[in-house]
Structure 1
Amino acid sequence: MGKKMLSRGKEVLIKSILQSIPTYAMSCFRIPKSICEEIEKECAKFWWGVENGKRKMHWRSWDFLCKPKARGGLGFRIMEEFNRALLANEFWLLLRNPSSLASQVLKGRYFRHGYIMDAGISNNPSFIWRSLICSRGILEKGVIWRVGNEQSIKIFEDSWVPSLTSKIGTTNEAWQRNVRVASLIENGVWNTALLRNHFNPFIEEEIINIPLPA
């Protein structure tokens, strides 16, 4: 019973203190991989313990201990992935709140006449901006446009059809890559004739099922 309670205490200390201390810094900056690995190494040493000044045997790899408890692990954090998740969350907040002070400051510096999802690193960027850009790929895998201001959505460059896991293509090479969704709409409804000419039947049906704002 005593060993079980001790292990439980170590688990709480690792999760609530050792792995929580760098949370604030990780939500702003991309921490070097070597530092993340060093934090994990110290957590593993604390978990398995030290005897007579020497590390005890590590009976399981750290990757295994980071698995969810339902899969046999202990649910510890992989610090590099945790860092990227925190930065992606900050990027999401900027994306959802373009009128916030932080969004306005970054827009004025890095994408004054563009969109945050298309913004580049720019010249002499801050460490914060470089860190945020590194996390953008996580959002690109799951974020899609909601058709409202169709003037902003690029048909072939943006993800905007909910049922598709990738961006759509076209059989018409003459179409410009930056053509907007607005060109597919006529008098407030989808132009079915145009959709039929440029997309296969499956994509055509999926687009037609996307509701348009009144």
Structure 2
Amino acid sequence: MSVFKLPANFCDELRSIVSRFWWGTTNGRGKIPWIAWSKLCKPKCFGGLGFRDYHHFNMALLAKQAWRFLTDRSSLMVRVLGGKYCPNEKFLRAELGNNPSFTWRGIWEAREVIRLGARRRVGDGLSTYVWTGPWIIGTQTRRVISPRRDEDMNIVVAELWRANGKEWDTSKVRRFFLPFEQERILNMRISNTKPNDVWTWDFEKDGEYSVKSAYKLLTGGGENEASSSDRTKEKALWNSIWKANVLPKID
């Protein structure tokens, strides 16, 4: 599952096998499923039993390979597949190509997972494009949605700074962007050491991609949802239920 994208019908068959085992049978007849399977796939802390959605889990695993195209260009897998399918293109803009291998097709489709949670961490601002890169903190897409002008399409983030490179050029920011984007951009801290711009995963504190956080994102249990007050209360309730000192099964 971490190398190939499994067919949808095969994922459904796996789910069916697990669900039949869970529901069980009595005298050759299946028991009544009292609750939807999608609810059983929720984490235990949100009222489910933590069963996997195999399609989403497959995509989260494949996206880890896709993440290497952005962060580890020296790996053998990236050099082989990148050299064949996207030698002169950025990975996120690469085409599927003619008669692609099964491996490349799965990784190529897993880019959508990366787009949901990846962001450019601005250092020197020289390799992050203002209008096409996901670099703004605190927005859903991390991309600029302000109307753009054709003559400014290729400017990089560093061109929005003053000549000293230590503060934002307020006049440029207010001229280019909508008010809510102006606020977020001007609140972004500019690095004093100016390291290279790098990719970071927004759903982990260390910025490294993880299958766990990607799976939560795909199933609607990402950080934004889980951080709301209602979800926090629900999580506390279910955790107290699972930790209750009672018999493991009551007939």
Task: Report TM bin, short chain.
Answer: 0.7 to 0.9
CA distance in 1, matches of 2:178, 2:144: 10
Unaligned runs of 5+ in 1: 1-25
Give CA-to-partner distance per residue, 1:17-59, whole Å, 9 cap, x none. xxxxxxxxx1111111111111111111111223333333333
- The equivalent residue for 1:86 is 61
Q: Does the 8 Å CA contact 1:91/1:132 hold for their aligned counterparts?
A: yes
Aligned pair 1:173/2:149, yes or no? Answer: yes
RMSD over aligned CA atoms reads: 2.3
Q: Runs of 4+ in structure 1 displaced over 4 angstroms?
A: none
Q: Does the 8 Å CA contact 1:161/1:210 hold for their aligned counterparts?
A: no
Q: Does the 8 Å CA contact 2:123/2:190 hold for their aligned counterparts?
A: no
- Larger Cα-atom Rg: 1
TM-score, normalization by structure 1: 0.77
Quote the offset at 1:149 in angstroms.
5.1
- The equivalent residue for 2:138 is 163
SS in 2 for 1:144: strand
Quote the offset at 1:87 in angstroms.
1.1
Unaligned runs of 5+ in 2: 195-251
SS in 2 for 1:145: strand
Structure 1 residues 171, 41: CA separation in 2 closer, same or farther (over 3 Å shift)? closer
- The 5 A counterparts of 1:125-144 are 125-144=100-119
Give percent identity, aligned residues only: 37
- Correspondent of 1:51 among 26, 29, 46: 26
Kindly provide the amino acid, as one letter, of the partner of residue 159 in structure 2. S
- The equivalent residue for 1:197 is 175
- The equivalent residue for 1:210 is 189
CA distance in 2, matches of 1:149, 1:211: 9
Point out which structure has higher relative CO (alpha carbons under 8 A, 6+ apart).
2
TM-score, normalization by structure 2: 0.66
- Correspondent of 1:37 among 4, 12, 15: 12
SS in 2 for 1:98: coil
Aligned pair 1:184/2:163, yes or no? Answer: no
- Correspondent of 1:95 among 61, 67, 70: 70
CA distance in 2, matches of 1:207, 1:135: 29
